Amino acid sequence: MKNILIFFLLVLFLMPQIVVAESSGLFSKIKLNDLLVSSVYGSMTPYISTSDSGITTINWLEPSDSGYAIKFAKYNNTWDEHKIVAQGNNWFINWADFPSLIHMNDDNYAAHWLIKSSSDRYAYDTQASISKDGGDTWSKPIIVNQDGTPTEHGFASLYRDGDNLGLIYLDGRKMINEMTADPNDTGMTLRATSINLETNIISEQLIDGLVCECCQTNIAKSSQGPIGIYRNRTEDEIRDIYITKKINGKWMPGKLLHKDDWNISGCPVNGPSIHADINNVTVGWFTAANDNPVIKLTKSSDHGNTFSTPYEIGLNSAVGHINITVDRNDNTWMIWHKKISNGAVALMLSMLEDKTNQLSEMIIDETGNIPRYSVPQITNHNDEIIMAWTIKVNSETSGRGRNTQTSIKSASFKINQF
């Protein structure tokens, strides 16, 4: 009898915490302030970042006379002057794999984007560039991956690595090998690179030799250093979220964050999101293990060494593509996609209150004009939640990585009432 009781209590402890959202009350106080990013049709894939020093930036892709351009702006109650990072006509343009930009320190900024390396559909390299004058001018770009193979190199996450630029990214150099029964021979890898301010590569490292092929990576920094998250892949096609830390200059082998046991033979194009502050770490991700699509959220108070039993959000209605941020009261804010009719998705905003575990949510957009594989953005800037996302302004599309017409929307609201 005692053993049965112990087993029962253990099962209860390990069960996910399902939280049910309310759409009224707390969120009725939210008044969205529209922010203009770009009025150019065809603009897409916004990316928002807030640096250690509190500078928030947005970057996006915009059509130009020579193909596409990366533009960015800093936030100062609105999106400030637009600046051009780079432009070109040989870029890889995709919903799921897109450029990013971060503020490093002082006037130093870093950005990455993707260029085609051959005519093969998914043959492209990751390029990085650094600005030392607040984004007015940019260095000659360097190719992050040095293998020279016409394979996929992308889904990069940038971070400040001391006085250098650090990246983790997906590297498909083994995909050029002849196919065998062992996915390790041809599978995607996770690698890390550090680049100094003169855009010289100063270190490279293999972190994981077999990972999911096209799920976004993400990075955050606790007071102990960088923490990376990604979707792993096993030989048995289990694709769960893993976590890795950089300790004493080296990235540690990835470890399972939570055992979902999602068995899926192909990439779900659905990466995780992480936020860290001093010793607290929060991770959100999507899984559809056992045909139960859901967003999960877990927290750590010891720099990501141990995590809580996950909360479940949007059970059987979530599509994923989650991004998270955390406010000064340790409440977690999430922007994500929810399934609606005819295969379309709604854009949702949710908040998990730290003290009560109460979940509140509101619909940002349910028009059906949210691209299904796009990745909405969210950050906390001085107690102001800022969001950005892509919308379709023309319903005609031509595949996962192409569209005929898009536009970018951005909005914010103050959270001091929460």
User: How much is the pLDDT for 314?
Assistant: 95
In a domain, 1, yes or no: no
In a domain, 325, yes or no: yes
In a domain, 281, yes or no: yes
In a domain, 8, yes or no: no
Q: What is the CB-side half-sphere exposure of residue 43 using CA atoms within 13 A?
A: 21
Nearest CA among 271, 269, 265 for reference residue 238: 265
In a domain, 4, yes or no: no
User: How much is the pLDDT for 24?
Assistant: 46
What is the residue range of 342's domain? Answer: 16-414
pLDDT digit of tens for each residue in the chain (418 aa)? 444 444 333 443 445 676 655 554 567 788 899 999 998 999 999 999 999 999 999 999 999 988 999 999 999 999 999 999 999 999 999 999 999 999 999 999 999 999 999 999 999 999 999 999 999 999 999 999 999 999 999 999 999 999 999 999 999 999 999 888 889 999 999 999 999 999 999 999 999 999 999 999 999 999 999 999 999 999 999 999 999 999 999 999 999 999 999 999 999 999 999 999 999 999 999 999 999 999 999 999 999 999 999 999 999 999 999 999 999 999 999 999 999 988 899 999 999 999 999 999 999 999 999 999 999 999 999 999 999 999 998 655 444 444 458 999 999 999 976 6
In a domain, 252, yes or no: yes
User: How much is the pLDDT for 181?
Assistant: 87
Q: Which two tokens stand for residue 171?
A: 């590297």
In a domain, 128, yes or no: yes
User: How much is the pLDDT for 408?
Assistant: 97
User: How much is the pLDDT for 259?
Assistant: 98
User: How much is the pLDDT for 178?
Assistant: 87
Pairing relationship of beta strands 241-247 and 255-256 according to DSSP bridges = antiparallel
User: How much is the pLDDT for 2?
Assistant: 47
User: How much is the pLDDT for 174?
Assistant: 94
User: How much is the pLDDT for 416?
Assistant: 79
Amino acid at 407: S
For residue 234, the domain's CATH number is 2.120.10.80
Q: Which residue has the tokens 């190719």?
A: 143
In a domain, 6, yes or no: no
Domain count, the chain: 1
